[in-house]
Amino acid sequence: MSIVSVDDAANTWKLPSWRSLLPVGADAQTGGYRRFSFTPADSQCRDWFRLEAVHRGLRVETDRNGNLWAWWDPEHARADSEVVVTGSHLDSVPDGGAFDGPLGVVSAFAAIDLLVKARVEPVRPVGVVAFTEEEGARFGMACLGSRLLTGAVTPEAARELTDADGVSLAEAMAAAGLDPEAIGPDPELVGRIEAFVELHIEQGSALAGMNAAVGVAESIWPHGRWRIDFNGRADHAGTTKLADRSDPMLPFAATVLAARTVATELKSLATFGRVAAEPGAANAISSAVHAWLDARAPDESTLTELVSQVTAVAALSGSSHGVTATSTCESLTPAVEFDLDLRDRVLAALAGQEIEAPVLATGAGHDAGVLAAAVPAAMLFVRNRTGVSHSPAERAEPEDCETGIIALAAVLEELACR
């Protein structure tokens, strides 16, 4: 039986939720988003979340890790009942698209609207969550909020993370009115989560090639980030003979090229998307180059091999130029296989809405991947016609987003109402 009609979903999509979030953190020059944790844009996103929750009569909480929760508490559920949670994140990469993260949060609220409109009564509470610092764009560690919640990172290690200006997570949280001493796992809350379902824009073009509006996640490639610090010696660009230089830019360049070659050989992915040269003068040899390797592979041993070959090139090339190269892992996510029983229930709920959803593996990281280590987790992907993401050009069509909302509502009905 259909719980919602397409017309209902279309009307929901036209509600102000999406449009009111769109301007927050938008960069007028690039058309991308800069929603970094504990900045004014992040605080506006958090205000938006609270307002959306309050409008719907949902109970709002900020947990000890800064994650936001909005609870739809059914009248008859026991206070200690198991809960079903959906949501995603509101932070962005530098100049990210509008959909990566926010689509899952907006769709979560919209799916609840559809269920309320259809007078569907959950028998257990439904939570909407917006996780802190999913992208790791400010403090370097991806999925920081969900890692803290589940205990995948220690509070001590998290407090010491610093941003590009040397501000620690502890300092940033304190400035945002949160208590950094309180961060850490919440086994009581995690233990109550019967299922977590994250809806997310697809960050590739598989669904477009399969003519499907919505997909379901099968697995996530293991992936991580490594900072490589090349330390050389600053000197004058116009007077220092080439033979006398310890230029960290040279081993850095060799490492970038090696990463491409090794990733090709290992059928993996390696990217240097962030680099900082010190002191950054056009007419000086750099004293240091800091570069971030993002590496992803189909399995964990290949990922280890990829990173060890790339970092070995950094060290070897560094030594031939009088430069030291040290590598530090900033975040690592093991391979994720999503819960099979939950995936079957998700597929059955979608089939009930006559939504045919292919099952896909992905190389993109998500809070659902972190949650999957602790609770049954699943993901819905919404088609991205161009496949572009982490870019202002990211786009999902409204009709696909509407199908995603219907799919999520059906999944929540299946999980929370039976």
* Three-state DSSP state, 241: coil
* Closer Cβ to Mn ion, 174 or 292, answer by number: 292
Cα distances from 271 to residues 41, 226, 285, 294, 384, in angstroms, run 27, 11, 24, 5, 22
DSSP letters along 311-323, please? HHHHHHHHHHTT-
Select from 3, 83, 130, 142 the one that contacts ligand GLV (CB under 6 A): 142
The secondary structure element, H or E, covering residue 305 is helix 300-320
Residue 125 interacts with which of ligand GLV, Mn ion, none, CB < 5 to 8 Å by class:
none
* Closer Cβ to ligand GLV, 134 or 400, answer by number: 134
Shortest Å distance, C-beta 415 to Mn ion: 22
* Three-state DSSP state, 386: coil
Torsion of CA 43, 49, 50, 53, to 10 degrees: 180
| CB 208, CB 383: distance < 8 Å | yes
Residue 185 interacts with which of Mn ion, ligand GLV, none, CB < 5 to 8 Å by class:
none
The vertex-140 CA angle with 166 and 176, nearest 5°, equals 60
Residue 142 interacts with which of Mn ion, ligand GLV, none, CB < 5 to 8 Å by class:
ligand GLV
Beta strand pairing status for 235-236 and 284-285? Answer: antiparallel
Query: Is position 368 an interface residue for ligand GLV (rule: CB under 6 A)?
Result: no
* Closer Cβ to Mn ion, 137 or 258, answer by number: 137
Residue 277 interacts with which of ligand GLV, Mn ion, none, CB < 5 to 8 Å by class:
none
Residue 222 interacts with which of ligand GLV, Mn ion, none, CB < 5 to 8 Å by class:
none
* Closer Cβ to ligand GLV, 255 or 331, answer by number: 331
- CA 418 – CA 407 distance, rounded (Å): 17
Residue 101 interacts with which of ligand GLV, Mn ion, none, CB < 5 to 8 Å by class:
Mn ion
The residue among 312, 309, 364, 307 whose CA lies nearest residue 330 is 307
Question: 303-310, long-range: CB within 8 Å, 24+ apart, which pairs?
Answer: 303/221, 303/222, 303/223, 303/224, 303/268, 305/266, 306/262, 306/263, 306/266, 306/268, 306/270, 307/224, 307/226, 309/258, 309/262, 310/255, 310/258, 310/259, 310/262, 310/270
Query: Is position 141 an interface residue for ligand GLV (rule: CB under 6 A)?
Result: no
Shortest Å distance, C-beta 335 to ligand GLV: 14
Residue 413 interacts with which of ligand GLV, Mn ion, none, CB < 5 to 8 Å by class:
none
Shortest Å distance, C-beta 376 to ligand GLV: 21
Beta strand pairing status for 126-131 and 83-89? Answer: parallel
Query: Is position 365 an interface residue for ligand GLV (rule: CB under 6 A)?
Result: yes
* Closer Cβ to ligand GLV, 135 or 402, answer by number: 135
Select from 84, 289, 364, 412 the one that contacts ligand GLV (CB under 6 A): 364
Give the count of alpha carbons within 13 A of 386, CB side only: 10
DSSP letters along 177-215, please? T--GGG-S--HHHHHHEEEEEEEEE-SSSHHHHHT-SEE
Residue 365 interacts with which of ligand GLV, Mn ion, none, CB < 5 to 8 Å by class:
ligand GLV
- Binding pattern to Mn ion, positions 83-112, x when CB under 5 A? -----------------xx-----------
* Three-state DSSP state, 397: coil
119-138 residues in contact with ligand GLV (CB under 6 A) are 135
State both tokens at 348: 């059955």
* Closer Cβ to Mn ion, 98 or 323, answer by number: 98
Shortest Å distance, C-beta 336 to ligand GLV: 12
- Binding pattern to ligand GLV, positions 305-344, x when CB under 6 A? ----------------------------------------
Residues binding ligand GLV (CB under 6 A): 135, 142, 364-365
Q: Which residues bind Mn ion (CB under 5 A)?
A: 100-101
